[in-house]
Structure 1
Amino acid sequence: MDWLFQSRYNLDFFLAAIPLQLIMIVYYLGRRHLPISESRSFLYLMVLNLSTLVTDIMACGVTVKGTPATVLYFWNILYFACFLLTASGFLLYTADALHIPRFAGRWTRAVVFLPVWVMLLFLFTTPWTGFFFASSPEVPFKDGPVYGGVYYCYGFYILLPNLLVLLKWRENGLRRNFSFFVCGALVLIGLFLRTEFRYMPIMGYFVTLAVLVAYFTLRNPDFYVDDETNLLNGPALHLVYTDRTRGRRLHGFGFVIKGFEQSRILYGEAFIDSFLLEIGKYIRRELPFCCGFYLRSGRFFLMTPLEKTEEAADTLRQRFRASWTQGTRTAFFDIACVYVDQEVLFPPWEEFRQALADGFQKARGVAVKEITVNQGYMEQLHRKFHVRRLLAEALANNSAEIFLQPLMEAGTYRILGAEALVRLKDRDGSLVLPDEFIPAAEGNGSISLLGLEVFGKVCRFIQEKKPQRWGMKWIQVNLSPMQCLDRHLPDKLDALRKAHEVPVSAVRLEITEQAAMGNSGYQRVNELVERGYTLVLDDYGSGYSNRQRMNRISVAGIKLDGHLVGSHFDHPDSYIPNLIKGMRQSGYEVTAEGVETKEMADSLSAMGCTSLQGFYFAPPLTLSQFEKMYGT
């Protein structure tokens, strides 16, 4: 090896770079990494960098006077080939890490990689042309006319990934963006030093540092392993899903442990969670063809080959029929499966995640054994997303519409008040039913904002139109259970009401039984009563109403649920008449919903109802329609 140390090049930096890169490769191969193209391209990058380091040493060592030209050409051509391919490896890895399809198409790829192919052509023909470098007994290495182009080519393939990062800036996250730029900066510094200090091959050291930064901040396999099961975790599923669904279908299924959270409360978190590791071991041992993910809260997803999906699901169902044992501890779990239909072409990750979450939630039902996420299921999910977007736009633009449905005095059938109902309009002008957007608002926490918007618009209507002149005493506004958990709710309502100079008697608040359940709910509604608001218990008879709960809050009246009223007229009995009589004797006002005929109106008036509401009198009307019909 004396010839190596006779070289005029300073090789000290390689003493650190080569072992460091070799350790990274060995450790990386020993860990369980994600089965995605990004993992493969990163390994490809590390191998190329190691090859570049080794061939650089050899090329530097043989570049001494008297070295045979064939040896010099061989090692220098091999080094510069690895050098150029490493640069293209950075570009390929960045494209995979950013989930960019391989530059859209064949012609785009051809144009992007044309410089490296041209430089390789010059390189491999240099023994005959001398374009890249030349050798003679007196001068072992002499630059050719295109030699400097290799550094421009390398710089191009380092700067282009940074441009891709900028294009994906919002999607990629600040930490990942910063990591990519640090890697690019390290490589460019090394490239600059390579051109300025030719006899100190320091560039490989900086490239290795860049790979090390990428390893610890972007590609560390431990980022994607769940510590409870040793399966892959949720962020790993996100990456694998994005990689696998580039023009392909996804095959697999999920399963959920029923009653998981309740079991953790009953038996203790440590007891139940200790079995998760056993479940993870079983999946990796008995289903090696599956890629398993644990999504927490007893939810798993297994990515499988298409022909193995049923086999994997049957294996798991059979295993969960038996007990799970650890020493003297035994646990029993029941599961339900969520299948991904092979015909489904999946949308972006967020919709897939929501589809799984929705499927898992439904699968937790007592009698549910399996859920299939098929095209129809996805269409329903798309509708949910559409409604959520409409809701977000309405809240941002304060564009939710208020409808009023009259409350008529029983017996006289004169207008007494109205109930305010919120409606959303679709982009085509059609109305979105409350059954769609109210659950969406409750699910994402925007119901409180929506409720305040409705209350504010009702107050503005009272201020501007003064419906007291029409014989109306009040307008009733619904409060959701979530609103009643807001400790600042009374202050917010007071601020809106006072801003429009509306007396507290002009608005009534309708609450459901759920809103009045729990200490926080009771505290909030009683505070509203103390401030002078009149409360009405809505949908009485649809849940768990009883006198004990009603005695804990001060409500002025109740509204009989429309289904309860309708069932009485379908099958008359003494329950509704006695209920109305008892409530009236207790001092409550009674409103009957769902009044659809004159017979129902007359009968309910005779039973003692104080007010009636239903399509017999009027459906929910826009504010202008309501004013036209009842304004004077």
Structure 2
Amino acid sequence: MTYHYEFTLAAGIVLAMLCIFAFSRTYLATRRNFSFRCLLAADVITMLFDVISSEMDMRHAEFSLGMLYLVNAVFFLGFIWRSFLNFAFVEALVRERCTGLRLPHHIAFLPVALTTLIVLASYWTGWIFSLDAGSGAYKSGPLYPLIYGNGYLYLILTAGFIVASLRHTVWTRLELVSLIGSCLLIGLGYIVRMHSSPYLVMNAFYTLEMLLIFFAFQNPDLFFSRRMNLFNADAANVCLRELYQGGPFSLLAIAVNDFEENRTLYGGHQTTKGLRLIADFLRQKFPDCYVAYMDEGRFLVLTGEPLDFRQVCHEINERMKLPWHASHVNIYLNVHYAVYRGRPEPGILPHMLDYTASSLRRAEQTNEVVHMGTECFRRMEYEREVRQAIDRAIRDDSIEIYFQPLWGVGEQRMIGAEVLARMNDPVLGFVPPSVFIRTAEQSGTITQLGEQVYEKVCIFAKHHDIKKLGLRRLNVNLSAIQCRDNLMSERLNAITVRHHLTFDIFKFEVTETALVYPDELQGNMDRLIAKGAVFSLDDFGTGYSNLIRVSRSPFKDVKLDMTLVREYFQKKNRLLPSIIGAFKSYGLHVTAEGVETKEMVEELSRLGCDTLQGYYFAKPMPAAEFLQYLAKKNILTR
């Protein structure tokens, strides 16, 4: 028989390139990557000995019987082990995503082990193949179909694992197409090989399958941050799953303090250089650990070994006292930490990186090392449930609006109301605004939430004439995240026009945080002011604003945070009169929050506040109760 190598030669070139790329790049030391490299090695051996054994069988008279048996046996061993390793790779991949989904090792290994023994025994039995003692001619044995049976068995197991995983995890479209495509390719390859013996085509099908696997799962660039020369967040997720399989692990999370401010101070280019120097430092300090960069100045160190967190954090802090030299610039950075040692519950693992990010935010606020544990996970699990509640509220349009009246000092009556969002979730019940608003900002859903609130405010104003209620304007809160959106004003305008309203009945409150992005905020403010809206700076005294910065922005009103107001009456802070006087000198109206007593009303009125808000007048209330409240106060005009 004459064999044809055209397909094998083409596949061999592609396989060689895959090997060079796979074995020369930095890889995670995970079971999945080890299986893939073994699969590559098995394919190389199988392809090489497929050609060698075929060529030697055609010229069997030139070789000894022992040599012919050896090369044919190696080919068959490579053939059956390649099927097993292909299954092992998919099993390892699925186990990364589905912790509890696995096949006992002895069951998975048994078929290939038995087939291996049968192949090796063929030297004496001729079960798989035999060689004529006189001529050395090759002949298939009675159990030769077992070779294909072994392949089909592992192909069925592979497909079964993929189908089972669909109940436990979500694959991307590329991943799912690659997994299904790889099974179809191998199945087709077996069929073609059985009916085209002279053509060595099976290697080509396996090479195509590994190309699919490589592009979907094994490309090192999927798990590597070239900018920092470290593993990325996707790699960290894989590492966590791998370490979890082995028992307790250590996690050290490190984040740069005030990352955005540092980037503004030093510039993006110089900050990146400083982060690279930190990355190099961490890689050298933890040579036996996984070190990953999580973006926005956050690093992660993972290892299965215990870490002395106190000592490690101390050493890193000592290094942080020194500057990071980058292109003639000394960059000074400080960091905060979140740490963990143990083996979390299976339900915690998929969210471990999110919980770590939340812990780092808390560490920056408290200036303490956050030790993640059961209580911490419980709190962050609640935050995750809140995110789900927000998604439900947005989907069902179930956010409620409440109104808290605003007392006009000069008018001695209610002249407006602040509209506040409230969430009553069917699963969690009442969720405090401080919780769900902060969570919505962190999860990126605050824009949708804010627009739904504004829509409800417009519906209220459409059915109840604000002027006839004796009110000048309704105050609507805008998140700092919303203010960064250049299209915010257009969307708010579209909602207003849809309900046949004008902006002259609205006052938009923005917090000091929005001033960090002056260009976007200014553009949105200018467009809405041109249509009749006015703006108020909310919660002054809790951020980084100063009088000059506020005076240069087109605010008509400044609302003093209740903390600043209460500290004045508790005699902890006597700056309030000066602050009010300064704002009044700039022609700004001043609103005081947190008014709870008659004494506070009289004193704040004396100091020059124009508007007062607080429980002394009324708590936030739903629309129907708010209308009754106004009627009771005789504010409605007849």
TM-score by length of structure 2 reads 0.79
1:520-550 C-alpha deviation (Å, 9 max, x unpaired): 4344334433323344444355553537734
Gaps of 5+ in 2: 633-638
581-590 or 355-364, larger mean C-alpha shift: 581-590
Which position in structure 2 is the counterpart of 1:376?
375
For residues 430-470 of structure 1, the C-alpha deviation after alignment (integer angstroms, 9 at most, x for no partner) is 32222212222333443333232222212222333556665
Shift in Å at residue 425 of structure 1? Answer: 1.8
Q: Does 1:96 align with 2:92?
A: yes
Q: Which amino acid aligns with 1:612?
A: L
1:83 paired with 2:96, answer: no
In structure 2, relative to structure 1, the CA distance for the partners of 1:17 and 1:514 (3 Å cut) is closer
Contact 1:387–1:437 at 8 Å: present in 2 too?
A: yes
- In structure 1, the partner of 2:438 is 439
**Residues of 2 paired with 1:165 and 1:523: CA distance?**
51
- 1:390 pairs with 2:389: yes
* Mapping 1:307-326, distance limit 5 Å: 307-310=306-309, 316=316
> Retained in 1: the 8 A contact 2:256–2:298?
yes
Taking a change above 3 Å as real, the CA distance of residues 553 and 161 of structure 1, as seen in their structure-2 partners, is: same
Cα drift, residue 87 of structure 1 = 0.7
Please give the secondary structure, in 2, of the residue aligned with 1:394: helix
Cα 1:230–1:512, aligned 2, differ >3 Å: closer, same or farther?
A: closer
For the pair 1:510 / 2:509, whether they are aligned, the reply is: yes
Q: Which moved more, 1:241-250 or 1:451-460?
A: 241-250
Alpha-carbon separation, structure 2, partners of 1:493 and 1:462 = 14
Query: Cα distance 1:205–1:562, how it changes in 2: closer, same or farther (>3 A)?
Result: closer
Whether the aligned pair in 1 keeps the contact of 2:227 and 2:276 (CA below 8 Å) is: yes
User: Distance in 2 between the 1:102 and 1:531 partners?
Assistant: 56
Q: Work out the CA distance in 2 between the residues paired with 1:573 and 1:91.
A: 70
What secondary structure does 1:41 align onto? helix
Gaps spanning 5+ residues in structure 1: where?
1-6
Q: Distance in 1 between matches of 2:565 and 2:312?
A: 50
Give 2:441's aligned amino acid: E
Alpha-carbon distance, 1:342 to partner? 0.8
Match of 1:38 in 2: 32
* In structure 2, C-alpha distance between the alignment counterparts of 1:76 and 1:166, rounded to whole Å: 35
User: Deviations for 1:291-324, whole angstroms, at most 9, x for unmatched residues?
Assistant: 3333455443222342455576566555555666
Which runs of structure 2 are paired with 1:558-597 in the superposition (5 Å)?
A: 558-571=558-571, 590-597=590-597
CA RMSD of aligned residues (A): 4.5
For 1:384-533, what aligned pairs fall within 5 Å after superposition? 384-410=383-409, 414-428=413-427, 430-466=429-465, 471-502=470-501, 504-513=503-512, 515=514, 518-533=518-533
Instruction: Map Cα deviations across residues 362-421 of structure 1 (whole Å, 9 max, x no partner).
Output: 6667x9474433333333332332222222221222111111122345498654432211
* Distance apart, 1:22 and its partner CA: 6.6
Separation (CA, whole Å) in 2 of partners of 1:546 and 1:578: 11
AA partner of residue 567 (structure 1):
E
Q: Where in structure 2 are the equivalents of 1:333-372 lying within 5 Å?
A: 334-336=333-335, 338-343=337-342, 345=344, 351-361=351-361, 368=367, 370-372=369-371
Instruction: Give the letter for the 1:455 counterpart.
Output: Y
- Please tell me the residue identity of whatever aligns with 1:528: L
CA distance, structure 2, for counterparts of residue 426 and residue 240 of structure 1: 35
Residue 423 of structure 2 aligns to a residue in which SS? strand
Determine if contact 1:244/1:250 at 8 Å carries over to the other structure: yes
1:291 aligns to what?
290
CA deviations 1:482-513 (Å, max 9, x no partner) are 44444554554444344434465544433445
Between the aligned partners of 2:314 and 2:552, the Cα distance in structure 1 is: 53
8 A contact 1:477–1:508 mirrored in 2: yes
**Alignment partners' CA distance in 1, 2:320 and 2:600:** 54
For these two proteins, the number of residue pairs brought into alignment is 622
Partner of 1:158: 155
Partner Cα distance (2:193, 2:227) in 1: 47
Change (3 A) 1:456 1:17: closer
1:218-233 correspondence runs (5 A)? 218-221=217-220, 223-233=222-232
Q: Once the two structures are superposed, what CA deviation does each residue of 1:74-127 show, in whole Å capped at 9, x if it has no partner?
A: 6555543432221121111122234256983556x6666665566556656667
Percent sequence identity is: 25
Q: Distance in 2 between matches of 1:604 and 1:267?
A: 42
Where does residue 636 of structure 2 map in the other structure? none
Q: Is the 8 A contact 2:60 2:68 kept in 1?
A: no
Residues 538 and 558 in structure 1, CA contact (< 8 A), matched pair in contact too: yes
SS at match of 1:341: strand
Asked whether the equivalents of residues 338 and 373 of structure 1 are also in contact (C-alpha less than 8 Å), the reply is: no
**C-alpha distance in 1, partners of 2:275/2:538?**
44
**Contact 1:95/1:101 (8 A) holds in 2:** no
Q: Structure 1 length normalisation: TM-score? A: 0.80
The change in CA–CA distance for 1:130 and 1:542 in structure 2 (over 3 A counts) is closer
Return the offset for 1:41: 0.4
1:173-208 C-alpha deviation (Å, 9 max, x unpaired): 344444445544543443233211223333234424
What is the match of residue 145 of structure 2? 148
Question: Is the CA contact 2:240–2:302 (under 8 Å) kept in the aligned structure 1?
Answer: no
- The 8 Å contact of residues 257 and 336 in structure 2, kept in 1 or not, is answered as no
Deviation at 1:424, TM superposition (A): 1.3
SS in structure 2 at match of 1:172: coil
Q: Give the aligned partner of residue 635 of structure 2.
A: none
Letter in 2 for 1:436: V
Tell me, what secondary structure is at the counterpart of 1:616? coil
SS in 2 for 1:354: helix
Q: For 1:491 and 1:330, locate their aligned partners in 2 and report how far apart those are by CA, in whole Å.
A: 42
Partner SS, residue 416 of structure 2: strand
Match of 2:550 in 1: 549
Deviation of the 1:621 alpha carbon: 1.2
SS state of the match for residue 249, structure 2?
A: coil
Contact 2:389 2:428 in 1 (8 A): no
* Mapped contact 2:480–2:511 kept (Cα < 8 A): yes
Aligned residue in 2 for 1:3: none
- Look at both structures and tell me which one has the larger radius of gyration over its CA atoms: 1
